[in-house]
Chains A and B, each alone.
Chain A
Amino acid sequence: DQQVKQNSPSLSVQEGRISILNCDYTNSMFDYFLWYKKYPAEGPTFLISISSIKDKNEDGRFTVFLNKSAKHLSLHIVPSQPGDSAVYFCAAGPRAQKVTFGTGTKLQVIP
């Protein structure tokens, strides 16, 4: 049972445009949501997070939006840069417990 779903396995975006990566979850107990970025042959690195008391968190070019009623979160990257090309994983969990990761979306930013 996949509790965290990333339904788009890949996404291509032109440099300078907005990249929108989506993630859906099913467990209403999840309070914390994180995005990780993974380059080939490296471990994932933390990108940005949001807790359920917020609906938006922004860090530079990266913004995460949370829609609790729809159990949906999204990561916006504006403007997209070629160096953003990577696999993006969303992760979710209840407070202070283990997270569940999605299957990832491979983003390609075309120069």
Chain B
Amino acid sequence: GAGVSQSPSNKVTEKGKDVELRCDPISGHTALYWYRQRLGQGLEFLIYFQGNSAPDKSGLPSDRFSAERTGESVSTLTIQRTQQEDSAVYLCASSLAGTGVLYEQYFGPGTRLTVT
């Protein structure tokens, strides 16, 4: 079966431009996460979608960052007016979800964003 896919795999953009990153989760996974990994750093949580609940946006670093998810499928992460500090690998993950258990996440290969 297909895993989590992300597009584009690489994106180079000029400072000040907007970018949109896409994530296709595994079918049937109701939970979807976005993370950021800067060079030499760990995984930084950005946002979490779970079913029809309001997303947990507590990790978004500024109001330039936003994300949407259509039902339980595709998600897009949008970064407006990109800055050089936004350069990172953006990882998407999906998982099953349920009460009383924490399912493992399946990660996509990431989108490497470079802001020049």
Binding site for B on A (CB under 8 A): 6, 31-32, 34, 36, 41-46, 49, 51, 89, 93-104
Interface size on B, residues (CB 8 A): 24
CB of A43 within 8 A of CB of B91, answer: yes
Q: Is B99 positioned at the interface, with any CB of A under 8 Å from its CB? A: yes
Q: Mark B70-102, 1 if CB is under 8 A from A, else 0.
A: 000000000000000000000101000111111
Complex CA distance for A7 and B93, rounded to whole angstroms: 25
Q: Which of B15-43 contact A (CB under 8 A)?
A: 33, 35, 41-43
Determine the main DSSP class of B at the interface with A. Answer: loop
Binding site for A on B (CB under 8 A): 4, 33, 35, 41-43, 45, 48, 56, 91, 93, 97-102, 104-110
